[in-house]
Each structure stands twice: as C-alpha cells, then as structure tokens.
Chains A and B, each alone.
Chain A
C-alpha cells in the first residue's frame, strides 16, 4: 500500500518555465490537498478537492492550477515559475472531512 506518492522529489526551474507536480493516492480517498511549506511559516493550503471534478482555492492559490479528473490523481500546475514559488510542496489526502491527512513525501522546488 503506497499511500500518497509525489513526483518528482526535487526540481530546479528557471524563471518563467512551467511544470506539473504529480500526486497520486491509492487509498480511495475523496479529499485531496496541495500545501506549500516554507521555513518558519508552517504549511499553507494552495488548492483542495473534495472529489473528482471538484476543486477549490485555499489560502495561497495565485500562480498555481489544479485538476481532478480521477479520484486517484491530483496534479498541481505551475505556469510561469517565479522565485517566490521556491518551496517544498506536499500533497495530502483524507477519507472525508474531519479526519487527519496522509501526506506524501514532498517535492522540493527551486526557481532560479
């Protein structure tokens, strides 16, 4: 049972480039989330989804896009990378509201 799998683990982007961070879960969870973690700032919610075809913005959505075409997958898209998007990105899932998350191992992104 893999849980939540994120790829890639590390990536360096140049300013203005685009990329997609992949996230897949095998627990049949309806709820999925994308967070970014910056030193001393905790985790901030970027986007979340309560089921296939449904997405919504979190606290810090600017510069990102998501889609949820299947229950398993929840990719995060960066269209025009900026240095402010240098961070560690975590994908998470939960079986329903009011329950704790299962997190992936993270993607460390550097924009130069």
Chain B
C-alpha cells in the first residue's frame, strides 16, 4: 500500500518551462512534507519542505503548494534549467520517525 502517491512518473519540459509534480496522501496525521532531489549515482538531497499550517512555501525557484482539504501537495519549478534534470521524490511523515516516499518523478529539462 503506497502511503504517498506521486505523479507523473516522468516529465519532459523545455528550458524556462514550469514543471509541476503532484503528490497525494490519505493519512491526515502526516504533519511534514519534504521534497527531495536525486541526481544519478547520488543520494537524495532535501530540497524544500512544508508543514500543513501554510498553503505555500517558496525557496528560490522551487515552490510547494499545499492543499490540506484535498490532501495534496505539489512542487513547482520556476524557470527550469537543464541542471534541474533529476529525479524528484515527495515524502510525508507523522512526527518524523518514519517518512513515506512517493515513487519518484524523472524530470528532463531540454535546453
């Protein structure tokens, strides 16, 4: 049973486009929602995270939108660059002891 459902599985955008990756969850006890970026051969790296008391969080070109009533959250990458090409994972946790990860989205940004 997948606790966090992520889509799409892969995404191709032109440089400057705004890729959007979506995640949905069922457990209303989740209280922390991070996104991770993973380059080939490397471990995932924390990109940005949000808690359910806010609806949006921005850090540089990365924005998380959070819809508590719909139990959905999404990652937007503004002005995407070829260097953003990576696999992105959403995750959710309940008090932080166990994180449940989405299945990942492979993003390719074409120059």
Contacts and interface: CB of A to CB of B under 8 A. Distances in A.
Interface string B26-42: 00000110101000011
A105 B38 CA distance: 10
A79 B96 CA distance: 29
A41 interface: yes
A98 B42 contact: no
Given A48-B98, A50-B97, 10 more contacts: A31-B96, A40-B9, A42-B102, A42-B103, A92-B43, A97-B95, A97-B96, A98-B96, A103-B44, A106-B43
A42 B43 contact: no
7 closest A-B pairs by beta carbon, nearest first, are A97-B96, A103-B43, A100-B46, A98-B96, A42-B101, A43-B101, A42-B103
Interface residues of A, number: 28
A90 interface: yes
A43 B31 contact: no
Nearest to A4: B43
Interface in A74-112: 90, 92, 94, 96-106
Nearest to A38: B103
A100 B49 CA distance: 8
A61 interface: no
Interface in B59-99: 89, 93, 95-99
Contacts of B98: 45, 48, 58-59
A103 B97 contact: no
Contacts of B2: 42
B12 interface: no
A45 to B, nearest CB: 6
